[in-house]
Chain A
Amino acid sequence: MTMANRKLIVGYLYPDIMSGYGDRGNVATIVRRCGWRGITAEVWELRLGDPVVADEVDLLMLGHGGEFHQRLIAADLADVKAPGICEAVAQGAALLAVGAGYELLGRFYQPSKGVELPGAGLFDAWTIQHGDDLATASYSIGEARAGRAIGDLLVRWGDELLVGFENHSAKTYLGPTAQALGEVILGQGNNGDGGEGVRLGCAVGTYLRGPCLPRNPVLADFLIRGALLRRYRDCELKALPDELEHAAHDTAVNRLRESAGGISPARRRIPSKRYMRQRHRVYS
């Protein structure tokens, strides 16, 4: 079977509510990178009330929103969509959840005030908001920033580097059966314990924003491979000319190296320019 006949279904969860951080960029990246390979990626918008039918979707995507948006979707996610999401991932479907979306795919989310929000229970993880709820907080921007992980986030993912931006005050803790996506080189990640995100099969939860896929095409292709493998039992993926994507990725890493400054320990942990040039040659 040639690629040209292949079609993947991308389930875009709550596109109208959870797209607060350029999350459409992640969806566009999947659609284009499939299209350039002759694979049709059809995007299904799954809104409040729409169930997830496990057999139908190959890749699920859930973006970011504020706590207001989290409250809006939590019950629907846990009751209406969770069974389909968990079943699809168990069947091998790929998934990307970012920021607030990642937080809600764990077992629960405990806000600073009020009752906890139910999670979808996909990941063996939970999230606790240690600071005040921003929407009701009375403190200044400086005080609000102080309790928050906000800034660049650089993660080692196997042999790869993922680069993005984080902005969250809640901390996510992984249970014994969960596996972190990668190891933090710079930034906070899940909760400051050195781990970032979570991975379960081809399902990825992460605090990486930016959006993360355009600048980390290797992660985008990981998700596409997962989706292909689940649908067609074959995940051969043609390499794409990714010079622009690599340039954006390297610009972000170089910028971090410069701002880390001098001979600080953080700087020494950031791979060199030469290393990155060689790496791109290998992978492109």
Chain B
Amino acid sequence: MAPLGSGPGGGAEGSAIARGRCVARPAAAGRRALAVTVGKAARGTIRRLGRGSGSALPGRAALAVDARLLAALAAEISRGAVLVTGTNGKGTTCRMLAGMMRASGLRPLLNREGSNQPAGLASTLLAHATASGRLPADGQAIGVFEVDEGSLGEILEQVKPVAAVFTNIFRGQMDRYLELDYLVRRLERGLLGLPADATLVLNADDPRLAYLGAELTNPRVWYGLDDLGHRRSGVDHTSDFPRCPRCAGELRYGSVFYAHLGHWECGGCGLARPAPQVRAVQADVTGPGSSRLAVAAPGTEAVLEVPLPGLYNVYNALAAAAAATACQLPSGALTAVDQVTGGCLRMEQVSVDGRDVYLALAKNCSGFTEVLRAVLGDGQPGHLMLGLNDRARQQEPDISWIWDVDFESLRGLVPSAVLSGNRASDLAVRLKYARWSGRGGQTDVAVEPDPVRAFRLAMSRAPEGQPVWVVSTDLVLGELREWLRRRGHVGKIWAR
């Protein structure tokens, strides 16, 4: 995925590559040092220009000089690396896990959220490298890398992790990954590059993930939700894997939590949800933006305060706790999850003209549904701005997933919604057919494609003192956030 706001700054990359190629074939160590120098120069240039996040560009420039740079630098991290991949929750899980590691005295290295392809990882590592092209010796250093689900194979060719964590697999970016089958196949092929002793950390509640890489003999840690209070009736519309991954038989669910996550069993071959070693025995929603979960892990029990909203963050906390277990962190480390803050655009709280504004990125069906459920879960009316854009120039025009977002069950909870982005008119049709608007609708819907004007409109329509929730795909949010940054309401994305 292209990093947010990565448009400008390409000139810096181009010149850095050109400089690298002027030098005639240095020896391996020299080449590595040169690659780091080039990458650092690109990074410095982008920062001086103050343009966009540009976080993949330095890595891309450096990898153009030395294609094995990532492998060389990653091998120098003394405690190795943990890779976190999946459709949703990668970045948050990484930040939660990093907090647990810090509490254990480790010094985690993280890549920037969304900068999760080889170039993004290389950018992160070269920023820490010395001029000679090596990472400073640090016995407590450990990598925690968010990995794009389509790039796992490529990254495993260079980074040999101690654990690979999978959050979930949902339908998303099908115009990019073509078919879900293809994506899963890519993940499984990628996993062939996993070292035999690396631990697979898998979501037991996701039937496709629980069976991922079935032929691999790697040690596994499964995590899952055991609190049946969160079950929904029937199979969720957003279920992407209604069938058994082994025999294609019909999956039966004792409980569904959301999408295809739940307690499942195949009616054909008997494949069933593995008993998770790390499980949430109880998960209580303690407020609109937080929950408390009682976690049982091998040899320990802990109560985790998760200061982030929604059931999806309960799963992220479980994934982090399971990864911590796989890394054999001390059991006291798990509670450090209470220090985690919402990532950039992950229910990011901003104060604008004395009003609370929440920015939430949602770019696929289950993400959008779960964010809306989290926002409206307390039954209080919510004033929304919803954004939808496609990426015409990158030939990714698919927005069909909005028709699987569960707007229907949230009908009546939203007094006003302003729709934005270049596909705002499709959202307007969606809300009409979900009966939010039109005959008998209870939501006052307005369409304003320009993100900044739409935001101003949403602010003017919400009664004083009430928060405005912005739930949107990336381009609309990126543009809005950049405007908020220019007005001093938020910091730079790359500065975080």
Residues of A that sit less than 8 Å from B by CB = 16-17, 19-25, 28-29, 32, 36, 48, 66-69, 71-72, 134-138, 141, 144-145, 148, 150-152, 165, 167, 209-211, 214-215, 244-245, 247-248, 250-252, 255, 258-259
A36/B439 contact (C-beta < 8 A), A21-B174, A24-B404, A248-B429 known? yes
- A141 to B403 CA separation, bound complex (whole angstroms): 26
Contact A72 B243 (CB under 8 A): yes
Q: Which of B127-135, B161-169, B419-427, B457-465 contacts A (4 or more CB under 8 A)?
A: B419-427
Contact A209 B400 (CB under 8 A): yes
User: B237, B392, B435 — which one has the most chain A CB atoms within 10 A of its CB?
Assistant: B392
A20/B433 contact (C-beta < 8 A), A148-B178, A247-B425, A248-B428 known? no
Partner of B395, one of A150, A211, A214, A250: A150
Q: Which residues of chain B from 342 to 372 have any CB-CB distance to chain A below 8 Å in the complex?
A: none
1/0 contact string of B175-219 vs chain A (CB within 8 Å): 111111110111001000000000000000000000000000000
CB-based nearest A residue for B176: A141
Contact B237 A259 (CB under 8 A): no
Residues of B that sit less than 8 Å from A by CB = 150, 171, 174-182, 184-186, 189, 235, 237, 239, 242-243, 248, 250, 392-393, 395, 397-404, 422-423, 425-426, 428-430, 432-435, 439, 447
Contact B182 A244 (CB under 8 A): no
A141/B177 contact (C-beta < 8 A), A24-B404, A68-B248, A134-B182 known? yes
Contact A211 B181 (CB under 8 A): no
Contact B425 A152 (CB under 8 A): no
Q: A25-B403, A25-B404, A134-B181 are in contact. List 17 more A-B contacts (CB 8 A).
A: A16-B242, A17-B243, A21-B174, A22-B400, A24-B403, A25-B400, A66-B179, A68-B243, A134-B185, A135-B179, A141-B178, A210-B400, A214-B426, A248-B426, A248-B428, A248-B429, A259-B393
- A16 to B400 CA separation, bound complex (whole angstroms): 17
Partner of B429, one of A21, A48, A215: A215
Contact A72 B248 (CB under 8 A): yes
A251/B189 contact (C-beta < 8 A), A21-B174, A134-B178 known? no
Contact A20 B432 (CB under 8 A): no
Contact A17 B242 (CB under 8 A): yes
Contact B178 A165 (CB under 8 A): no
Partner of B404, one of A22, A66, A137, A144: A22
Residues of chain B with a CB closer than 8 A to A25's CB? 400, 403-404, 430, 433
Shortest beta-carbon distance from A3 to chain B in Å: 15
Partner of A135, one of B181, B398, B433: B181
Shortest beta-carbon distance from A143 to chain B in Å: 11
Contact A244 B237 (CB under 8 A): no
Shortest beta-carbon distance from A79 to chain B in Å: 17
User: B184, B237, B239, B242 — which one has the most chain A CB atoms within 10 A of its CB?
Assistant: B242
Residues of chain A with a CB closer than 8 A to B179's CB? 66-67, 134-135
CB-based nearest B residue for A148: B178
- A134 to B121 CA separation, bound complex (whole angstroms): 28
- A135 to B150 CA separation, bound complex (whole angstroms): 14
Contact B185 A137 (CB under 8 A): yes
- A215 to B403 CA separation, bound complex (whole angstroms): 12
Residues of chain B with a CB closer than 8 A to A151's CB? 395, 397
In order of increasing CB-CB distance, the 6 nearest A-B pairs are: A25-B403, A22-B400, A22-B403, A135-B181, A134-B182, A248-B425
Contact B425 A150 (CB under 8 A): no
Some 13 contacts from A to B, beta carbons below 8 A apart, are A17-B243, A22-B400, A25-B403, A67-B179, A69-B243, A134-B181, A144-B182, A151-B395, A167-B174, A209-B400, A214-B433, A247-B447, A251-B423
Residues of chain B with a CB closer than 8 A to A68's CB? 181, 243, 248
Residues of chain A with a CB closer than 8 A to B404's CB? 19, 22, 24-25
Residues of chain B with a CB closer than 8 A to A144's CB? 178, 182
- A164 to B180 CA separation, bound complex (whole angstroms): 20
Partner of A259, one of B177, B392, B434: B392
Contact A135 B425 (CB under 8 A): no
- A36 to B435 CA separation, bound complex (whole angstroms): 11
Shortest beta-carbon distance from A238 to chain B in Å: 13
- A43 to B405 CA separation, bound complex (whole angstroms): 19
A251/B175 contact (C-beta < 8 A), A66-B181, A72-B243 known? no
User: A22, A148, A245 — which one has the most chain B CB atoms within 10 A of its CB?
Assistant: A22
Contact A211 B182 (CB under 8 A): no
Contact A32 B171 (CB under 8 A): no
Contact B403 A152 (CB under 8 A): no
- A16 to B238 CA separation, bound complex (whole angstroms): 10
Contact A245 B422 (CB under 8 A): no
CB-based nearest A residue for B401: A22
Shortest beta-carbon distance from B254 to chain A in Å: 17
- A141 to B434 CA separation, bound complex (whole angstroms): 35
Contact B426 A255 (CB under 8 A): no
- A69 to B242 CA separation, bound complex (whole angstroms): 10
Residues of chain A with a CB closer than 8 A to B435's CB? 32
CB-based nearest B residue for A153: B397
Shortest beta-carbon distance from B157 to chain A in Å: 13
- A134 to B447 CA separation, bound complex (whole angstroms): 38
- A20 to B435 CA separation, bound complex (whole angstroms): 23
Shortest beta-carbon distance from B206 to chain A in Å: 17
- A248 to B185 CA separation, bound complex (whole angstroms): 35
Shortest beta-carbon distance from A170 to chain B in Å: 12
Residues of chain A with a CB closer than 8 A to B171's CB? 20
- A67 to B182 CA separation, bound complex (whole angstroms): 10
Residues of chain A with a CB closer than 8 A to B403's CB? 22-25, 28, 211, 214
Contact A152 B243 (CB under 8 A): no
Contact A137 B182 (CB under 8 A): yes
Shortest beta-carbon distance from A120 to chain B in Å: 20
- A135 to B435 CA separation, bound complex (whole angstroms): 38
Shortest beta-carbon distance from B446 to chain A in Å: 12
Partner of B150, one of A136, A141, A244: A141
- A181 to B402 CA separation, bound complex (whole angstroms): 26
Residues of chain A with a CB closer than 8 A to B400's CB? 21-22, 25, 165, 209-211
Residues of chain A with a CB closer than 8 A to B250's CB? 48
User: A25, A36, A151 — which one has the most chain B CB atoms within 10 A of its CB?
Assistant: A25
A32/B433 contact (C-beta < 8 A), A22-B403, A24-B237, A167-B175 known? yes
Contact A150 B175 (CB under 8 A): yes
Contact A165 B397 (CB under 8 A): yes
Residues of chain B with a CB closer than 8 A to A167's CB? 174-175, 178, 398
Residues of chain A with a CB closer than 8 A to B439's CB? 36
Contact A29 B433 (CB under 8 A): yes
Residues of chain B with a CB closer than 8 A to A67's CB? 179, 181
Partner of A214, one of B186, B248, B430: B430
User: A36, A71, A152, A248 — which one has the most chain B CB atoms within 10 A of its CB?
Assistant: A248
- A141 to B187 CA separation, bound complex (whole angstroms): 12
- A142 to B70 CA separation, bound complex (whole angstroms): 22
CB-based nearest A residue for B424: A251
Residues of chain B with a CB closer than 8 A to A21's CB? 174, 398, 400
- A244 to B401 CA separation, bound complex (whole angstroms): 19
- A20 to B174 CA separation, bound complex (whole angstroms): 10
